[in-house]
Amino acid sequence: MDFLRKYMYPLITGIGILVALLVFSLNVPRNREANGVERSTLSILSPLFRPVSRMSGFVEDIWDGYIRLVDTHSENLRLREDIRVLNQRVHEGNEALLANQRLERLLDMKKSVKAPTVAATVIGEDVSSWFRTLIINRGSANGIREGMAVIAADGVIGQTVKVSATTSRVLLLTDHASGVAATIQRSRARGVVKGKGEMLCTLEFTTREEDVKVGDQVITSGIGGVFLKGLPIGEVTMVKRGEYGIFQTISIRPAVNLAHLEEVLVVQRGGYE
């Protein structure tokens, strides 16, 4: 008895360790199955898990949705600003691309013109709707004089009138006071392109016998010295030969969209003081 009393604690410790190892070694082969102890324990505790889990979710929601969102508002504002800046860059990029395409076409036209030219930007339009003129940002200081031809990438626009030091007015093809000596490209029939207002022109003084058809291209004839020969003016959209009269009525749609002009070239040739 004295022996047991003396060595009780070491014995219990050893037996405990031995039992623990035994339990462990017995459960090692069945490590994927729940034994009775496990099942019972889970069954007892599971009713407690659910509300605690819900509570944890609630706390987590509060944590994630409110406490951790202290900086979200400022982050949201920053991201919105980022989006705005990026959208602006995309817009500027698109604008630059379109300007590049327009200027590339204008450059092609500039190369094809056998005379010095000055590039100009349209800065204004006629205040009245009765006349068809534009204001460009180049004037006599840039070597522009009245009566010089103004062209765009697609063809003739008109000619300069009322030139000041820094700006010039351009009388468009479609103005009633405008007149350009022209030729039908296919048949070489001649006439004068006169403005009709409303973005349209007519080819006048073309006799009935001349061969003109709808779809024919109208180009400058070079007569008069203002416009170089062969520049596109427009396309014939209507031909009418009446029973009487010596001329035919020909309508022309200008090659250039005069309503949306931005960059133009002034041909520094001819003109008058």
Instruction: For the beta carbon of residue 219, count every other beta carbon within 10 angstroms.
Output: 21
String of DSSP letters for 197-248: STT-EEEES-BTTS---TT-EEEE--TTSSSPTT-EEEEEEEEE--SSSSB-
By the rule CB under 8 A, 176 interacts with another protein: yes
Q: Are 166 and 139 in contact (CB under 8 A)?
A: yes
- Is 190 strand, coil or helix? strand
Instruction: For the beta carbon of residue 199, count every other beta carbon within 10 angstroms.
Output: 16
Q: Which window, 55-63, 91-99, 169-177, 249-257, contacts another protein (CB under 8 A)?
A: 169-177
Nearer to another protein among residue 179 and residue 232 (C-beta): 179
User: Which helix (H) or strand (E) element contains residue 262?
Assistant: none
Nearer to another protein among residue 217 and residue 249 (C-beta): 249
Nearer to another protein among residue 133 and residue 220 (C-beta): 133
CA 240 to chain centroid = 42
Mark residue 155 as left, alpha or beta (left: phi above 0; alpha: psi -120 to 50; beta: remaining): left
Q: Which window, 81-89, 175-183, 207-215, 236-244, contacts another protein (CB under 8 A)?
A: 175-183
Give me the least distance between CB of 169 and another protein, in Å please.
8
By the rule CB under 8 A, 44 interacts with another protein: no
Give me the least distance between CB of 258 and another protein, in Å please.
11
Nearer to another protein among residue 125 and residue 235 (C-beta): 125
> Could you give the CA distance from residue 223 to residue 3 in angstroms, rounded to a whole number?
138
Mask for 124-163, x = binds another protein (CB under 8 A): xxxxxxxx-x-x-------------------------xx-
Give me the least distance between CB of 201 and another protein, in Å please.
11
| Residues forming beta bridges with residue 238, ordered by sequence position | 251
Give me the least distance between CB of 128 and another protein, in Å please.
4
Give me the least distance between CB of 273 and another protein, in Å please.
18
- Is 130 strand, coil or helix? coil
> Residue-wise over 8-29: b if at least 16 C-beta within 10 A, else e?
eeeeeeeeeeeeeeeeeeeeee
Give me the least distance between CB of 222 and another protein, in Å please.
24
Mask for 51-90, x = binds another protein (CB under 8 A): ----------------------------------------
Query: What token pair was written down for 101?
Result: 């395409």
What residue ranges in the chain does DSSP mark as E strands? 117-125, 133-136, 149-152, 155-163, 168-172, 179-184, 190-195, 201-204, 217-220, 232-240, 249-254, 263-267
Contact with another protein (CB under 8 A) among 37, 177, 214, 238: 177
Give me the least distance between CB of 198 and another protein, in Å please.
7
Give me the least distance between CB of 155 and another protein, in Å please.
21
By the rule CB under 8 A, 223 interacts with another protein: no
Interface with another protein by CB under 8 A: which residues?
Answer: 123-131, 133, 135, 161-162, 171, 175-177, 196-198
